Amino acid sequence: MRKLFLLAALAMSTFTYGQSWTPSAARTAFTAKMFGVKVVGSFKGFKGDINFDPGNLAQSSIAGSVDAATVDTDNSLRDGHLREKEDFFQVEKYPRVTLKSTKIEKSGSGYVGTFDLTLKNVTKSVRIPFTFQESGSTATLEGSTKLDRTDWKFGGNTLGMSDDVKIDLKVNLKK
């Protein structure tokens, strides 16, 4: 009987790596400059798999993706260009932009995640500081970082386009 109890406890412990959260809403936005003018855009179609436990960061993981075809900068001509052109998202060939954690660490009052960010066929490691606020059966994960678009060969040599792109992420979660 004791062996059966230990086996059951071991089996249950292998399935409790962090707390599983379901995304209920998400905002994925970016800011860049074109000829010195701020361009703000966003994506829809967020899908995520979030297992996060502040008390067990080694077993926590965050993965998410957005639908590249939903890019919206409030300018249909620019959006079409971003979706179709080879130097940009090329959504027919690369429909999703993905982010997957490889490490999560505590940092001050928040956390820093090391993620593999895949844009088109290029994957690079990025560090994103974020906060995680839990309230009962809901939580909010929010982070922001700056990227160099040229690291992903994104945008080619587009005249007037800044290399720096700010990314803002906010995901509302429920248990």
pLDDT of residue 32: 97
Indicate the SS3 state at residue 27: strand
Do the bridges between strand 96-107 and strand 37-51 make them parallel or antiparallel, or are there none, so unpaired? unpaired
Q: What are the chain's domains?
A: 17-174 (2.40.128.110)
Spatial separation of the C-alpha atoms in residues 41 and 67, rounded to whole Å: 13
pLDDT of residue 8: 42
pLDDT of residue 18: 63
Measured on CA atoms in the order 113, 120, 90, 97, is the torsion positive or negative? Answer: negative
Tens-binned pLDDT, residue by residue, of the chain (175 aa): 444 343 344 444 434 456 899 999 999 999 999 999 999 999 999 999 999 999 999 999 999 999 999 999 999 999 999 999 999 999 999 999 999 999 999 999 999 999 999 999 999 999 999 999 999 999 999 999 999 999 999 999 998 999 999 999 999 999 9
